[in-house]
């Protein structure tokens, strides 16, 4: 068992799993718990106050990705958005084919949804990636068949930070009249996203990955894309997602989008500087599995540290929080499917840890990590 008394605030380098909420987001949310608590679907003033703020949040979200506000569906997070996007789309469009193309390094929300659909008779192609985690556009084009109806590719990978060629994928899917769903959960607030330029038909993300609240996310659905709802009930979200609106979380998500739209450049510069600092600090002890080049978002890295048993390090070091593998694997230390995809012949070593930054990360936190690794390996005593 991990000793929770060792939890150290201010030493957190696992921002790809989740982030600290921005205090400005909390301030925006507060009035909607006890004061403006009305059901946004009610016609009275309490309801309409909530409804007005939800519409405002919808505009804040849409502005961040260059969508229009009636193309935003609020969900409980990216996982739900991905489930709705994938299952809802194939259910509505199976008359046009039953083939889906995705990538072996996608998030489990995508892979598990696709595996489920395979049991229902759909056919799925899982594209391979090269040693740096990139898909090959030619192989992607070759995988397209007459019955292909949907392509699902993430923007930024949550373990290695690789950025996929989204614009080219969008161009090709658009030409071939195939729908394109992009999981942008790690990209929001980190790369500039424009669903129109990139010809993205559906896009998912969660508030908590960019300093917003947990339990709220979005499926952007371009006008004209047909989906079958996966949660039935009331008529909220044009019947696409039933259930009483969670006004505080929606308001918080809108605020997080507004903040990052205005502060993107500062945040990006900060994270890039930290990454360069980290690379220099870790040199000689470990190395980035995927180099920090232009196809890589700087704030998310998996580092290989020879001699470091990553599971023991992550569980027992009280100084700084990092991850081995992604957060969804609940204490079961298995090999990451992402790292495996980069080199299928390599023996699993358990020497990798994931480091990820956000706007609040400091150089001191990085110093703590490097010294924690050094003392774990007894390098400081040499
Ligand atoms: C975190 C994450 C998800 C899932 O988000 P939830 O908030 O857990 O629903 C999906 N895709 C990627 C790339 C992620 O990093």
Whether residue 1 is contained in a domain is answered as no
How close is the Cα of 293 to the center of ligand 1, in Å?
24
* Residue bearing the CA closest to ligand 1, atom 14: 185
- Do 130 and 148 lie in one domain? The reply is yes
Give the range among 116-130, 140-154, 226-240, 315-329 with minimum mean pLDDT: 315-329
| pLDDT for res 132 | 94
190 lines ligand 1 (CB under 6 A): no
Kindly write down the DSSP assignment for every residue of 192-234, as one continuous string: ---TTTTT-SEEEEEGGGGTS-TT-EEEEE-TT-----SS-SS
Is 146 buried (19+), middle (13-18) or exposed (0-12) by CB count in 10 A?
A: exposed
Atom of ligand 1 lying closest to residue 107 CA? 11
The pLDDT of residue 314 is 86
Q: Decide which of 229, 244, 259 is a domain's last residue.
A: 259
pLDDT band at residue 269 under the 50/70/90 scheme: very high
Instruction: Tell me the pLDDT tens digit for each residue of 64-97.
Output: 999 999 999 999 999 999 999 999 999 999 999 9
Q: Are 205 and 218 in contact (CB under 8 A)?
A: yes
CB of 106 closer than 6 A to ligand 1?
A: no
Do 84 and 196 reside in the same domain of the chain?
A: yes
The answer to whether residues 278 and 268 touch, using CB atoms and an 8 Å cutoff, is no
pLDDT surpasses 70 at 7: no
Rounded to an integer, the average pLDDT of 161-183 is: 98
Same domain, 224 and 296: no
pLDDT of 5 over the 70 cut: no
pLDDT for 317: 77
Is 328 one of the annotated active-site residues of the chain?
yes
pLDDT at 117 over 90: yes
Residues 210 and 238 in one domain: yes
pLDDT tens for each residue of 280-297: 999 999 999 998 888 999
- Mean pLDDT value of segment 306-333: 74
pLDDT above 90 for 10:
no
Asked if residue 150 has its Cβ within 6 Å of ligand 1, the reply is no
Q: Domain ends where: 259, 282, 312?
A: 259
Nearest to 373 by CA among 282, 292, 271: 282
Residue nearest to atom 2 of ligand 1 (CA): 185
Cα–Cα nearest to 187, from 208, 205, 201, 199: 205
Residue 4 within any structural domain of the chain = no
Give pLDDT, residue 225: 98
Among 240, 259, 278, where does a domain finish?
Answer: 259
Which CATH number does the domain housing residue 334 bear? Answer: 3.90.1150.10
Domain, as residue range, for 154: 23-259
pLDDT at 353: 92
Atom of ligand 1 nearest to the CA of 17: 1
Whole-number Å distance, alpha carbon 206 to ligand 1 midpoint, is 7
What atom of ligand 1 comes closest to residue 326's alpha carbon? 15
78 lines ligand 1 (CB under 6 A): yes
């Amino acid at each position: 068992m991990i000793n929770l008394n060792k939890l150290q605030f201010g030493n957190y380098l696992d921002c790809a799993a989740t982030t600290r909420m921005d205090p400005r987001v909390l301030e925006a949310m507060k009035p909607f718990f006890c004061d403006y608590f009305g059901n946004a679907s009610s016609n009275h003033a309490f309801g309409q106050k909530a409804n007005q703020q939800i519409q405002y949040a919808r505009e804040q979200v849409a502005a961040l990705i260059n969508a229009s506000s009636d193309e935003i569906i609020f969900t409980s997070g990216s996982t739900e958005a991905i489930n709705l996007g994938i299952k809802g789309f194939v259910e509505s469009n199976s008359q046009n084919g039953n083939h889906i193309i995705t990538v072996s390094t996608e998030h489990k929300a995508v892979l598990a949804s696709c595996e489920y659909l395979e049991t229902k008779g759909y056919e799925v192609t899982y594209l391979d990636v090269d040693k740096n985690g990139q898909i090959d556009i030619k192989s992607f084009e070759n995988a397209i068949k007459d019955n292909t109806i949907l392509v699902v590719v993430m923007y930024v990978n949550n373990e290695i930070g690789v950025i996929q060629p989204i614009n080219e994928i969008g161009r090709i899917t658009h030409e071939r009249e195939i729908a394109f769903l992009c999981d942008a959960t790690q990209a929001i607030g980190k790369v500039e996203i424009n669903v129109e330029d990139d010809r993205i038909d559906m896009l998912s993300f969660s508030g908590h990955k960019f300093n917003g609240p947990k339990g709220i996310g979005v499926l952007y659905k371009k006008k004209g894309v047909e989906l079958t709802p996966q949660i039935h009930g009331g008529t909220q979200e044009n019947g696409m997602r039933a259930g009483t609106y969670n006004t505080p979380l929606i308001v918080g998500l809108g605020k997080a989008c507004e903040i990052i739209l205005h502060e993107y450049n500062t945040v990006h510069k900060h994270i890039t500087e930290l990454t360069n600092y980290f690379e220099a600090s870790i040199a000689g002890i470990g190395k980035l599995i995927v180099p920090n080049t232009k196809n890589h978002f700087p704030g998310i890295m998996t580092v290989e540290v020879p001699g470091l048993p990553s599971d023991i390090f992550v569980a027992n070091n009280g100084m700084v929080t990092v991850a081995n593998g992604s957060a969804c694997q609940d204490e079961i230390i298995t090999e990451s499917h992402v790292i495996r995809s980069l080199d299928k012949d390599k023996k699993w070593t358990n020497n990798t840890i994931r480091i990820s930054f956000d706007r609040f990360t400091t150089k001191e936190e990085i110093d703590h990590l490097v010294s924690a690794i050094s003392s774990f390996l007894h390098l400081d005593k040499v």
